[in-house]
Every structure is written in C-alpha cells, then in structure tokens.
Amino acid sequence: MHIHKYEKIWLWSGAVCLTIFLLIVGVSAYAMGNQPPSHMETIDPQKAALTAPFDKPALTKIGDNEYEAIMLAQAFTFTPSKMTVPKGSTVHFKVTSTDVVHGFQIPATNVNMMITPGYVSKISHTFDKPGKYLILCNEYCGVGHQVMAVTLEVTS
Amino acid sequence: MIDKRDAKLSLGFLSVSFIALFIGAIAGLLQTLVRSGTIELPLHIGYYQLLTAHGVLLALIFTTFFIVGFLYAGISKTMGALYDVPRRTAWLGFAMMTFGTILATIFILLNKATVLYTFYAPLQASPWFYVALVHVVVGSWLCAFSMWNQYYIWKRRTKNKLSPLFSYMAVMTMALWFIATLGVAATVILQFIPWSIGWVDKIDILISRTLFWYFGHPLVYFWLLPAYMCWYVVIPKIIGGKIFSDALARLSFVLFLLFSIPVGFHHQLLEPGISHSWKFFQVVLTFMVIVPSLMTAFSMFAVFETAGRKKGAKGLFGWFKVLPWKDVRFFAPMMGMLIFVPAGAGGIINASHQLNQVIHNTLWVTGHFHLTVASTVALTFFGIAYWLVPYLSGRTLTPQMNKLGIIQTIMWTVGMAFMSGAMHLVGLFGAPRRTAYTTYSDHPQAMDWVPYQAAMAIGGTILFIAILLLMYIIGYLAFKAPKGEMDFPVGEVEEEAAATPVILENWKLWVGICAALILIAYTIPFWHMIEHGPPGSTGYKFW
Amino acid sequence: MPQLQRKTNEKVKVKKEKELLGTLLSVMGVGLFVVLSWAAVYLLYLSR
C-alpha cells in the first residue's frame, strides 16, 4: 500500500507522541506507585454496615500525621459526616457502599474513585493546605444525589 | 435518485431520528436551566428523569436511527436497489426498533426508569424499560444482517468485484455495532431482565458494568464511523476533489474494528475489582485506536489541499480559502471536523490511566462527549441531512435553506463553545456531572461553579434555538421545498491512487483478529470477576 | 516484455509525489494542540 512521505512523517510522530504519553503514565504508575484505585477486596453488600471495620465507620489516627478513614457510602450521605485532621496529614480512605453505586471525589484533588457495592475502594491523599474540603458523590445514585456530600476539615 | 422503496425506508429511519432529537433537545434545554438554578421543574418532573430521556433519546435513538437510515440510502446508491430479503428484514428491524423506542420513552416519562441511559445496577427500572432496550438492539441487528445480506448477494452477483467504498464502510460499521452490542444484550437479557422481573434476587454489579462498557466504548465509534464515511466519501465530491486513498480509508476502518472494542476498561479506570495491570493493558489498546483517526486527519487535509491546488490555490495554505465555505453540505461537517481536534485531545486525556482521576465523572466528561457526539457527529449528520432529506423526498436544497443551514451551524458551534467550554473548565475544578442544581450547603467551592453553570445554560439555550431552526429546515426540505433532482455526492478515487489490496475485504481475518483481541483483553479479568466476585445486590428504586 | 516493464517502473519513479506541505503543517498543528492539552492536564495531576 502506497503511503505519502508526509503521511509517514505524521503517523510516526503521532506514534512517538502516544508512546511517550504511555511511558509517562506507565512509569508514574509502576515505578512511582501512582496507580488508579484498583483495590480487589470484596464484601457482602447486604451486610456491609455490619461487617468490620465498616460496622464502626470513623476517622482514626494510625501514626504521625497519618489517619485512616473508614467510611460508608449510602443514599444520600457518607458516614462519618464530619472529620478533622491537622495540616500535612495523610488520610487513607477506605470506603464501601451499602446500597447502589456511588462516587467518591474531593474536588481540586486527585481523590476520585467509584464505590461499587460488594467491593472496598481505597485511596490516599496528603492534605497540605488547610480548609474545608468537600467530599461528594459523583455518580448518580437517586433523587437526592445532589445533596450527597460531607466535609473534611484540615486545620492549620 | 435511488429506488423509491429504499428512499422510503431511509426516510422512515430519519423521521424517528429527528423526532427523538427534538424531544431529547427539550430535555437538554430544561436540564441546563435547572442546573444553573434558573428554573425549578413543575409537575413533579425530575431532573434525573429528564437526564434519562436526554441520554436515551439522543445518545441511543437519534444516533442509531440516523445512522441506519443514512447507511441504507448510501448502500442503495452505491450497490444498487436493495434486494427483497434485505429490504423486508430492514422494515422488520425498523418496526422492532421503533416499538422499543416508544416503549422506553413511555416508561421514562412515567418515571419508572429514572436510571439514566447507562442504567447502572443495582438501580432497578421497570422490566419493560429493559425489554424496550432489547427491542432497539435486536431490531438494529436485523438491520445489520440485512446490510450484510445485501453485500453478500452483491458480491456474488458481481463475481467478487471490489465493493464500493461506502458500502464496505457500512458493512464494517454494522460489524462493529453487532460485536459491541453482544455485551449490552448479554447483560440486559441475562442479568437485568430476570432480576427486574424477580426471577432472581441479585445481580452482579461489576459484571454488568463490564459488559456495559464492553459495549459503551465501541458505541462511540459506532457514532463516529458514519461521520467518517461522510468525510471520506461524500466531502471530496462536494468540494470538487477526489478521495485521497481508497485503500487507506478502508484500512482505517479495519483498525477501528480491531481496536475500538477491547478497551472498555478505560471507562472503569477508577473502580475496584479490576487490577491496574489489565486497566493499563486496555489503555495501551485504547491508544492504538487513535492511529486511524490520525490517518483520517491527514487524509482530510490532503483532500482539501489537493482539491484547492487543482482550483489554482497558491501558497502553503491558499487551498484553505478556496474551500466551499458557503455550501452547508461542506460547512456543517467541516465545523464538526475542526471541533474534533479538541474533542480528540480530550479523549486522549480521559483514557490516560491515572490522569482519569482529574476528570472522572466531572462535567469535563459531559463537555467532552458534547464535542464528540453532540458536535463532531451531530454537525456532520446535520450536514448530511441537508442534502439527504430533499434527495430522498424528491425535492431540492434551496439557496435560502442553505443559508439558514449555515446560520444553524454557526449557532450550534457558538452554543456548544459556551456550554462545552464551561463544562470542561468547571469539570477541571471538580464539579460533578449528572447532578441537579446544588451548592452543597453553600460550600465556597461549589459556589464558584455557579457562574460556569450559568454559561452552560446560555449555551444550552442557543443550542435549543439552533434545534428549532434545524427542525424548520428539515421540515421544509421534507415537505415544502420545490420538487427536483438532488445529487447524492459520492466521491471518486484519485486516478493515480494505488489499487486496493484484496486482503482488506477478508472479513474472516479481521473479525478473527478482533475476536482474538477481545479474548486477550477480557478473558482473565472477567474470569476473575466471576470467580472472586462478591455476593450480588438486590434492586433499589431511589427516585 | 521486460523492456516494457522497466519503462513503466521508471514512469512511476519519475512521477512526483503530491504537493502536501500545507497538509503536513496542518496536522502537525493538530498534534501540537493535543500534546499541549495533554501536558496541561498532566501538570494539573502532578500539582494536586
């Protein structure tokens, strides 16, 4: 098949660019650990609220500047609904749903993941700036979806 | 003029498509007004109910009916009148699809199916909604079978002559559609229907989502390929040029078949239960499907430049000026092509593994597919309709309607710039998609989003006026325009272009590779979901 | 026959490729736009 010289130049430059994109995200994911949330642990969605650790959803201090937030997503709120950590803390969120699919997003951060019933979703984030952070549901979950949000306060 | 019976068939599909477009557009206008806080809906109509209607009627019904109607017209034009069996099968398909559409619309309006067009389990709609979807899909399969049958008979009668480019692309588009819809049909028939009727209590959510997105990404290529058919086959004729390369055009369609299906995980990058290595593997495959679009970009510019130089255009970019900007048959698809530049760039960002965390389920995504399907594809379809509707109804595109069409295109582009531009920006700030008006108890971040949502409403209003104008033009062209003969523009290939290799029509080979890629990309992670899946979920009706 | 064959080959070689520099620059412009938008969102990802 005949391909014009310029088209070859164009296709090769395109291929090189795409490969560079893939290398950048690949190295960032595999060498630096920036993988998208892909946790494999499962749970019975009907009994999620009775299964440890989700029977006691809470924010717990687990080390210097390190916290674990065990959270339940259910129509139309998250539990616990108020959390406070000092500036510079790393929070490990561990979330599951008791009913339908929800989203878990903190706007203006990279915290963004799906909460699928039957699975435990995990994501970590370090909060360097003080403020009241929104945690909101970004997957349609029913008539009250637009009110499904809680706040995380980062104190200075 | 094509065979009268084929014209009627094609017009049948186009009619349903434009009715769906009009109802879907009304829902769209109301959504932007609600989300900006401008109005509250009367009569207990819900925002999410409108959103369901908008998604189903536009993303599924408008597109599919338009595509099938356009393909039949082009097949009849390039391969000759439909044979009896294909035509009868086509009408049966039309009847099933239309029945499914009406049934689905009724249940959405009754508020029995407010599950959005992605109908994620365990939100549970009325079983009739799922039954309706099955009718649309199976009806479209009958159309696929009918087109393949036409192609097969044509090939046999012409003793295996090289098929016309348009018909080859039509066969490929329907092959892609058929293989893709197997996934959504499987989840609806095997999972949703038994579960919503109550034959089984529980549904496996991750499996249903995976089957949906196995379908969901090739779906967007099903929208795009007919637009590419217009660009590759129709546009060269309109601008007085030739098809750049028949072989490369076919090759790009082969690549779309191969790489647009085994990539559904890039819609599931942020969900649990799928390991990141399989996600990354499908991200790599997703990047492969960019290549045929790069080829298309080159081909289109090459057609423009060659045609312009033949007309005597000088300099590096002189050819750009001599394009027929005042011909809506060119202008509308051309705007679609230009919009595909930011649309494509956005798509590459979305599919870039962890970069998805920046934009997933934010309004950026809504902005993205309003550039792809609702601008690139829709403007190309409008550009097709402006000559296809009068062509099929034995009328002509008058200069006045041509001018109105250009105004319509400009309005669409401007309206979309406002709406989609605002969506992209506010999405980067984190505003979620598919969410009614809210300030999250006056949270300062959410308050910052409100002006952008107002810009979306301004764009939405302009777009709705553009739809009213479109409806007027189409109605005029179908029923009022002066009678006459129109041209169905089908481009010819450059004389010196290389011959088309026979291997491009080796369907067994391409479908075989396609199936192999699907098996490689999906078997292990899918087996893992079944083997290690959690207990299923019961249904919820939270609306 | 062999002579004829050679003649056609030469003819093909002599024939110049189409003038498509404008096309190349246009698509490169498209490519540049893609790279810049991608880089912008990648930097946003890094900064968050």
Q: Residue A97 forms beta bridges with which residues?
A: A73
Strands (E) across B483-527 are located at none
How far does A107 lie from chain C, in Å, by closest CA? 10
| pLDDT the model gives residue B330 | 97
Residue B186 and residue B96: Cα distance in Å, rounded?
Answer: 18
A14 CB neighbours in chain C (<8 A) are 31
Q: Give the pLDDT band (50/70/90) at residue C1.
A: very low
How far does B421 lie from chain C, in Å, by closest CA? 14
Complex confidence, ipTM: 0.96
Contact state of C37 with B298 under an 8 Å Cβ cutoff: no
A101 CB neighbours in chain B (<8 A) are 120-123, 205, 209
**Residue C40: closest CA among chain B residues belongs to which residue?**
B349
- In this model, does residue B226 exceed pLDDT 70? yes
Mean pLDDT confidence for B303-307 = 95
DSSP string of B232-266?
IIIHHHHTT--BS-HHHHHHHHHHHHHHSSTTGGG
Mean pLDDT confidence for C6-30 = 72
A6 in reach of chain C (CB within 8 A)? yes
- C-alpha angle B330-B332-B335 in degrees, rounded to nearest 5: 105
**Residue A107: closest CA among chain C residues belongs to which residue?**
C48
N- to C-terminal Cα separation, chain C: 71
Contact state of A119 with B206 under an 8 Å Cβ cutoff: yes
B356 CB neighbours in chain A (<8 A) are 36, 112
Contact B188, B128 (CB under 8 A): no
Q: Where are the alpha helices (DSSP H) in B158-186?
A: 165-186
Contact state of B302 with C25 under an 8 Å Cβ cutoff: no
Q: Where are the alpha helices (DSSP H) in B393-442?
A: 399-429
* CATH architecture for residues A45-155: Sandwich (2.60)
Q: Residue A113 phi/psi, 5° resolution? A: -155, 165
B306 in reach of chain C (CB within 8 A)? yes
C9 in reach of chain A (CB within 8 A)? no
The residue count for chain A:
156
How far does B138 lie from chain A, in Å, by closest CA? 28
DSSP string of B432-484?
BSS--S--TTT-HHHHHHHHHHHHHHHHHHHHHHHHHHHHHHHHHHHHTSPB-
B346 in reach of chain C (CB within 8 A)? yes
Mean pLDDT confidence for B133-139 = 98
High-pLDDT (> 90) share of chain A, %:
97
Contact state of C45 with B298 under an 8 Å Cβ cutoff: no
B434-492 pLDDT, tens digit per residue, is 999 999 999 999 999 999 999 999 999 999 999 999 999 999 999 999 999 999 999 99
| pLDDT the model gives residue B533 | 93
| pLDDT the model gives residue C11 | 45
How far does C48 lie from chain B, in Å, by closest CA? 9
How far does C4 lie from chain B, in Å, by closest CA? 19
Residue A12 and residue A116: Cα distance in Å, rounded?
Answer: 40
Query: In terms of C-beta density within 10 A (0-12 exposed, 13-18 middle, 19 or more buried), how is residue B288 classed?
Result: middle
Copy the structure tokens of residue B142: 């009958």
Contact state of B301 with C26 under an 8 Å Cβ cutoff: yes
**Residue A18: closest CA among chain B residues belongs to which residue?**
B287
Q: Give the pLDDT band (50/70/90) at residue B42.
A: confident
B176-200 pLDDT, tens digit per residue, is 999 999 999 999 999 999 999 999 9
Residue B433 and residue A140: Cα distance in Å, rounded?
Answer: 8
Mean pLDDT confidence for B99-112 = 96
- Which of A6, A21, A24 is closest, CB to CB, to C20? A6
A12 in reach of chain C (CB within 8 A)? no
A88-127 pLDDT, tens digit per residue, is 999 999 999 999 999 999 999 999 999 999 999 999 999 9
| pLDDT the model gives residue B58 | 97
- In this model, does residue B496 exceed pLDDT 80? no
Residue from B283, B295, B322, B349 whose CB has the most chain C CBs within 10 Å, to mutate: B349
C24 CB neighbours in chain A (<8 A) are 6, 9-10
Mean pLDDT of all residues belonging to chain B: 95
Contact state of B428 with C44 under an 8 Å Cβ cutoff: yes
Copy the structure tokens of residue B25: 């557009």
Contact state of A120 with B272 under an 8 Å Cβ cutoff: yes
Contact A67, A43 (CB under 8 A): no
Alpha-carbon dihedral sign for residues B260, B262, B265, B266: negative
Q: What is the DSSP letter of B54?
A: H
Contact B124, B197 (CB under 8 A): no
A126 in reach of chain C (CB within 8 A)? no
Which residues fall within 8 angstroms of residue C7, CB to CB, at 6 or more apart?
Answer: none
B229-262 pLDDT, tens digit per residue, is 999 999 999 999 999 999 999 999 999 999 999 9
Mean pLDDT confidence for B322-349 = 97
Q: Is the peptide bond before A53 cis (omega within 30 degrees of 0)?
A: yes
- In this model, does residue C5 exceed pLDDT 50? no
Copy the structure tokens of residue B403: 């001018």
- In this model, does residue A52 exceed pLDDT 60? yes
| pLDDT the model gives residue A144 | 95
SS3 of chain A: the string is CCCCHHHHHHHHHHHHHHHHHHHHHHHHHHCCCCCCCCCCCECCHHHHHHCCCCCCCCEEEEECCEEEEEEEEECCEEECCEEEEECCEEEEEEEEECCCCEEEECCCCCCEEEECCCECEEEEEEECCCEEEEEECCCCCCCCHHHCEEEEEEEC
**Residue A109: closest CA among chain C residues belongs to which residue?**
C48
- Domain boundaries defined on chain B: 4-531
Contact state of A4 with C18 under an 8 Å Cβ cutoff: yes
Mean pLDDT confidence for A34-44 = 95
What are the strands of the beta sheet with A82-86, ordered from one edge? A82-86, A149-155, A131-136, A102-105, A112-115
Copy the structure tokens of residue B297: 């970009």
Long-range pairs for B283-288 at CB < 8 Å and ≥24 separation? Answer: B283/A22, B283/A25, B283/B351, B283/B352, B283/B353, B284/A22, B285/B259, B285/B517, B285/B521, B286/B217, B286/B259, B286/B351, B287/A18, B287/A21, B287/A22, B287/B348, B287/B351, B288/B255, B288/B258, B288/B259
B351 CB neighbours in chain A (<8 A) are none
Q: Where are the alpha helices (DSSP H) in B289-377?
A: 290-310, 318-321, 328-350, 356-359, 363-371
How far does B317 lie from chain C, in Å, by closest CA? 6
Alpha-carbon dihedral sign for residues B281, B284, B288, B289: positive
B112 CB neighbours in chain A (<8 A) are none
Q: Give the pLDDT band (50/70/90) at residue B225.
A: very high
Contact state of C31 with A17 under an 8 Å Cβ cutoff: yes
- Which of C22, C30, C33 is closest, CB to CB, to B305? C22
N- to C-terminal Cα separation, chain A: 65
Alpha-carbon dihedral sign for residues A127, A132, A135, A140: negative
Contact B304, B239 (CB under 8 A): yes
| pLDDT the model gives residue B208 | 97
Contact state of C31 with A4 under an 8 Å Cβ cutoff: no
Alpha-carbon dihedral sign for residues B98, B104, B109, B115: negative
Q: Indicate which residues of B carry an active-site annotation.
A: 217, 221, 368-370, 433-434
Contact A138, A65 (CB under 8 A): no
Of the candidates B117, B231, B122, which has an alpha carbon nearest to the alpha carbon of residue B184? B117
Question: DSSP 3-state assignment of B360?
Answer: coil
B359 CB neighbours in chain C (<8 A) are 41
Of the candidates B160, B168, B173, B158, which has an alpha carbon nearest to the alpha carbon of residue B67? B173
- Which of B298, B357, B431 is closest, CB to CB, to A36? B357
* Residue tagged 């809680």 (tokens): A150
B355 in reach of chain C (CB within 8 A)? yes
High-pLDDT (> 70) share of chain B, %:
100
B344 CB neighbours in chain C (<8 A) are 34
Mean pLDDT confidence for B513-530 = 96
Residue A16: HSE in the Cβ half-sphere, 13 Å Cα cutoff: 9
Which residues fall within 8 angstroms of residue A36, CB to CB, at 6 or more apart?
Answer: A29, A113, B269, B270, B276, B279, B353, B354, B356, B357
A112 CB neighbours in chain B (<8 A) are 270, 356-358, 360-361
Q: Give the pLDDT band (50/70/90) at residue C16.
A: low
N- to C-terminal Cα separation, chain B: 50
How far does C47 lie from chain A, in Å, by closest CA? 9
Chains in contact with B, where contact requires at least 3 CB pairs less than 8 Å apart:
A, C
B355-372 pLDDT, tens digit per residue, is 999 999 999 999 999 999
Contact state of C31 with A110 under an 8 Å Cβ cutoff: no
B83-101 pLDDT, tens digit per residue, is 999 999 999 999 999 999 9
Mean pLDDT confidence for A11-15 = 96
* CATH architecture for residues B4-531: Up-down Bundle (1.20)
- In this model, does residue B122 exceed pLDDT 70? yes
- In this model, does residue A77 exceed pLDDT 70? yes
**Residue A8: closest CA among chain C residues belongs to which residue?**
C24
Chains in contact with C, where contact requires at least 3 CB pairs less than 8 Å apart:
A, B
Alpha-carbon dihedral sign for residues B470, B476, B479, B485: negative
| pLDDT the model gives residue B369 | 96
Q: Give the pLDDT band (50/70/90) at residue C15.
A: low
- Domain boundaries defined on chain A: 1-35, 45-155
CB-CB neighbours of A65 under 10 Å = 14
The two beta strands, A66-74 and A89-97, are parallel
| pLDDT the model gives residue B499 | 82
Q: Residue B91 phi/psi, 5° resolution? A: -65, -35
Q: Residue B243 forms beta bridges with which residues?
A: B493
Copy the structure tokens of residue A104: 């878990």
Residue B494 and residue B357: Cα distance in Å, rounded?
Answer: 46
Name every residue in C having a CB less than 8 A away from some CB of B.
15, 18-23, 25-27, 30, 33-34, 37-38, 41-42, 44-45, 48
B423 CB neighbours in chain A (<8 A) are none
